[in-house]
Chains A and B, each alone.
Chain A
Amino acid sequence: MDERPVDLEVALRWLGGDRHLLLELVDLFVEDIPKRVIGLREASTTLDVHEIERLAHSLKGSAAILGATGVQAAALTLEEAMRARQGVDAAGRLADLARELERVAAYLADPSVRAQLTREGAR
């Protein structure tokens, strides 16, 4: 579990080594996290299966770009459960995803992680 929640090296490979762009995308992602968590919770209280599936799917794509593998996996699990319409533990899956998102937010807000990005970005 000590594994880093975001593999920025993976992200950098996708971005062709562009650290400025990576920093910008990280900010966009972090900025959106509270909104996503609220959206997922709202959809789960109204039992809107389609909306949960859509939100999880969108999140999966963005998480993949940033190398946020934990979020990506949790989002995929949730998306597939919603699509299968099984009597799965949706609340539990949602909680898993929310927890992963919070880990990512905390990691990306860590000054040493940001410092590393900006410093190397100033090359």
Chain B
Amino acid sequence: MKILIVDDEPIVRRLLETSLADWGYEVLPASGGEEAWAILQRDDAPSLAILDWTMPGLDGLALCRRVRGLSKPRKPYLIFVTAKARTQDIVTGLEAGADDYIVKPFNREELRARVRVGFRMLELQAILADRVRDLEEALARVKQLQGLLPICSYCKKVRDDRNYWQQVETYIEGHSDAQFTHGICPECREKYVEPELERLRQNRRTSEEDGG
């Protein structure tokens, strides 16, 4: 797991670098906002970044706002680690889009725990994003059968979107996962089949009488 650290103070950078490396993270250090911004725009950018606020040039707050404006689907988890300790600073930092805020000098164990929380959040986000993608794919596969269908009152054909009249079963099979198996209901048997059979029997009798 890769972490970007951005701080202009060599001591803080070194302390963060050593601590995070000890805990098994891969660390990418940057000494200023512009350098960090360039790294964060890359495709292989770290998914978690630890930012100082007060830096020359692009400061942490401006960097945070820029990152939140990125059009990437997965934005990095941002943790401020700064000596700006007033409540108003914390509020401003979080409002600018940071996910967490730690005041310097920081306790290493607390930092470690908060970094873990960050990766936990990222993992949750990734799982949710996968779920949503699966659902979207499933939805795309399910064909839509809804709305107002124009149907012929006599032959029961349905008019499709391209203005063709289709047998109702063809239409439904084309717009859903349903399939048809054909049979004859008792009423129709009596109404259509029986008279037809009777007519055939009649024909046969007539031809036998004629032949005999």
Contact = CB atoms under 8 A, between A and B. Distances in A.
- A contact face: mostly helix, strand, loop, or mixed: helix
Interface string B1-38: 00000001111101100100000000000000000000
B70 to A, nearest CB: 26
B158 to A, nearest CB: 73
A28 B11 contact: yes
Interface of B: 8-12, 14-15, 18, 52, 54, 56, 82-84, 104-105, 107-109
Interface stretch (A62-70, A85-93, A106-114): A62-70
21 contacts: A14-B108, A15-B15, A28-B10, A28-B11, A32-B10, A32-B11, A54-B54, A54-B56, A57-B54, A57-B83, A57-B84, A58-B8, A58-B83, A61-B82, A61-B105, A62-B9, A64-B104, A65-B11, A65-B12, A65-B15, A66-B11
Interface of A: 14-16, 18, 21, 24-25, 28-29, 32, 54, 57-58, 60-62, 64-66
A25 B11 contact: yes
A91 B205 CA distance: 129
Given A61-B52, A64-B104, A65-B15, 11 more contacts: A16-B109, A21-B15, A21-B18, A24-B14, A32-B11, A54-B54, A57-B83, A58-B54, A61-B82, A61-B105, A62-B9
